[in-house]
Amino acid sequence: PDSLFPPQHGSLNKYHHSHPLRERARKLSQGILVIRFEMPFNIWCDGCQNHIGMGVRYNAEKKKVGSYYTTPVYRFRMKCHLCVNYIELQTDPGNCDYVIVSGARRKEERWDPGDSAQVLPTAPEQRERLALDPMFRLEHGVTDRGVLERATPTLTRLQEAQDAWKDDFGLNSRLRRRFREEKKTLREEEEEAAALRARAGLSIPLLREEEEDRRLAALLTLRAPD
């Protein structure tokens, strides 16, 4: 009979009538998920006028508010940790960035990527023409190949420089081995100098023998007086 078998619940979450994400899913019915959000840039809070640095983390409510072509656009709402003001940010897939919706002002630290010879993202108008206009797509491809050919020598030099320093372990091992050999040679020279001072009864330090000293010594001859 069925009474001999315990009821099947499937999982602990089903048994406790809870969601696997616990408190983070308390507003899931509204399409809101609580996540750990990291501030993507420096801002000024409109509530307390304090500076909030890039990388500060908050518990933020994440919600999908639209789409950019097939890429979803998400909005993040969080409370300032210094006052009661709420800050809202939104993804901007078209520019690969975030935008402030309300509650704060961005600290402007942006620059033109073209000034530093960075690869620029394709503008939305160009992406649309690339998708619809075959001739424009062909011309764009020819231009990109020309840019690549002009940049190839620089890229090659950078790759060669990177390869030269790639084997950090081997380079470090060679340097340490050479240091040990030099240290051993120096210790042997010091021991020979100490033995010579002991035999000759000298109390002065002996300098290292140089090639010029050997040459001058070879030119000298010892003669007994008449």
Nearby residues of 44 by Cβ (< 8 Å), 6 or more positions away:
50, 51, 52, 104, 105, 106, 107
SS3 52: strand
pTM: 0.46
Cβ 80 vs Cβ 87: under 8 Å: yes
Number of H helices, E strands in the chain: 5, 8
Residue of higher predicted confidence among 195 and 91:
91
pLDDT tens across 35-60, in order? Answer: 899 999 999 999 999 999 999 999 99
The DSSP H or E segment spanning 87 is: strand 86-92
Domain segments of the chain: what residues? 12-106, 124-164
| 87-91, 143-147, 186-190, range with the lowest pLDDT | 143-147
CA neighbor of 126 nearest in space, from 91, 92, 93, 94: 94
Angstrom distance (rounded) from CA 150 to CA 178:
42
